[in-house]
Amino acid sequence: MIIQPKSRGFICTTAHPEGCARQVQRQVEYVKSKPAIEGPRNVLVVGASTGYGLASRIVSSFGAGANTIGIYFDKAAEGARTASAGWYNSAAFEQAASDAGVKSYSIVGDAFSDEIKAKAIDLIRAELGQIDLVVYSVASPRRTHPVTGETFSSVIKPLGGTYTNKTVNFHNGEVTQATIEPATADELRQTIAVMGGEDWQMWIDQLQAAGVLAEGATTVAYSYIGPAITHAVYRDGTIGAAKNDLEATAKRLHEQLRTSGGRAYVSVNKALVTQSSSAIPVVPLYISALYKIMKENGTHEGCIEQMYRLFSERLYGPEETAVDEKGLIRIDDLEMTPEIQAAVATVWEQLTTENVYDLSDLAGYRREFFQLFGFETDGIDYEADTNPEVDIPNLR
Ligand code: NAD
């Protein structure tokens, strides 16, 4: 079939297998062009098919030569429907890993469930023995609790008061004011249940109890802080409260793993175009302004550059892992320099529908959004008949 993008707002319901494969290949080539990392041997990535999780998996295999198990929630093609981007990404990753002679396995299903945790433990036992790095990179709108059966939904809302700021429709460049009403106490509770640390803790507890976590194992999850412009809707809002919970979980896990020489961290990453970040009001306009300034400054990075730096300089660098006063790894350091933030704040005041393409990298944002789904990628013939049915080699 001829596969074209079909998007509604921040959702694209089609994906292109060859475009996704090309995007994965580009990340693999980047890592292969960099010095090898003396890093983990066997890695479990929970949330491994797109964004930061996929990049972590690529750096593990092609930077450190590690075997990986990826857990993700993606759909195969069915009838006239293409597979999701994460499905095609993972198929391409597994093919590249097998060509490179490193083991890789995939489990598709709900990472929040006990069933998928048990399946992962069985697979580790059967194929890898033990895991020495667990990357937790799940971003989800919903979670069903494995014990109580309650299904929680996360919301992106401010706390305590209404929030109004600029936002952009990245399809047509229209800059408007977004007004978001504050979350209720129950929405806050549910968002923490989805995006906080409870499930990460459950993964580590169950891996440890099953004896498949190696002595001295490391675990890392990802967070975001960002600028004052987005604080009300992000860091001081419902999602920030969930990140506070994730960060508190890292502290607990660090103590838990330390007795066997292990470590747990939260890495604060840069704002980037991913399926999750495009759903947050205000953030796409901030990212567009940020990208233009960081590209001009020569310090722009994507997921793969961020994760290569996290692994090679922080988690497995020559020196002990550097953390800030709150114990967080700050790989968002280049985004948060005072010069970059002052430049973004100045541009932010000026941004309107009329000047958004001149003052920000909105065109780059939109292109990267479609690239997440394998579109707008150089070298792909989008008019060609393409088979949407792609197998993932080591799907368990
Ligand atoms: P993403 O949407 O690209 O990836 C999310 C991954 O989670 C996918 O692999 C998806 O399949 C998987 N997933 C979702 N629900 C699942 C479920 N129930 N079971 C199994 N897998 C499931 O998101 P991302 O932007 O890479 O975010 C990953 C982490 O990085 C999040 O904690 C996010 O807050 C954090 N982060 C993101 C940014 C950013 O700007 N994108 C910045 C800093 C930190």
Q: Is 57 inside a domain boundary? A: yes
Residue 155 CA to ligand 1 center (angstroms) comes to 15
Task: Please state the three-class secondary structure of the chain as a single string.
Answer: CCCCCCEECCEECCCCHHHHHHHHHHHHHHHHCCCCCCCCCEEEEECCCCHHHHHHHHHHHHHHCCEEEEEECCCCCECCECCCHHHHHHHHHHHHHHHHCCCEEEEECCCCCHHHHHHHHHHHHHHHCCEEEEEECCCCCEEECCCCCCEEECCCCCCCCCEEEEEEECCCCEEEEEEECCCCHHHHHHHHHHHCCHHHHHHHHHHHHCCCEEEEEEEEEEECCCCHHHHCCCCCCHHHHHHHHHHHHHHHHHHHHHCCCCEEEEEECCCCCCCCHHHCCCHHHHHHHHHHHHHHHCCCCCHHHHHHHHHHHHHCCCCCCCCCCCCCEECCCCCCCHHHHHHHHHHHHHCCCCCHHHHCCHHHHHHHHHHCCCCCCCCCCCCCCCCCCCCCCCEC
Q: Count of domains in the chain?
A: 1
Our answer on whether the CB atom of 154 is closer than 6 Å to any ligand 1 atom is no
Domain range for 42 is 8-149+188-272+303-332
From the annotation, which residues make up the binding site for substrate? 224
Q: Is 165 inside a domain boundary? A: no
Our answer on whether the CB atom of 53 is closer than 6 Å to any ligand 1 atom is yes
- CA-332 nearest atom, ligand 1: 43
pTM for the full predicted model: 0.97
Provide the residue-wise pLDDT of the chain in tens; the chain has 396 residues: 999 999 888 889 999 999 999 999 999 999 999 999 999 999 999 999 999 999 999 999 999 999 999 999 999 999 989 999 999 999 999 999 999 999 999 999 999 999 999 999 999 999 999 999 999 999 999 999 999 999 999 999 999 999 999 999 989 999 999 999 999 999 999 999 999 999 999 999 999 999 999 999 999 999 999 999 899 889 999 999 999 999 999 999 999 999 999 999 999 999 999 888 888 888 999 999 999 999 999 999 999 999 999 999 999 999 999 999 999 999 999 999 999 999 999 999 999 999 999 999 999 999 999 999 999 999 999 999 999 999 998 998
* Contact between 327 and 314 (Cβ < 8 Å): no
Q: Is 164 inside a domain boundary? A: no
Q: Give the residue numbers marked as catalytic.
A: 234
Residue 358 CA to ligand 1 center (angstroms) comes to 30
Q: Which CATH number goes with the domain that contains 74?
A: 3.40.50.720
Q: Is 175 inside a domain boundary? A: no
Measured by CA distance, the residue closest to atom 14 of ligand 1 is: 140
Our answer on whether the CB atom of 272 is closer than 6 Å to any ligand 1 atom is yes
Q: Is 203 inside a domain boundary? A: yes
Measured by CA distance, the residue closest to atom 24 of ligand 1 is: 51
User: Residue 70 and residue 105: Cα distance in Å, rounded?
Assistant: 6
Residue 102 CA to ligand 1 center (angstroms) comes to 24
* Contact between 270 and 225 (Cβ < 8 Å): no
Q: Is 144 inside a domain boundary? A: yes
pLDDT of residue 102: 96
Widest distance between CA atoms in the chain: 59
Q: Is 214 inside a domain boundary? A: yes
Q: Is 20 inside a domain boundary? A: yes
Our answer on whether the CB atom of 278 is closer than 6 Å to any ligand 1 atom is no
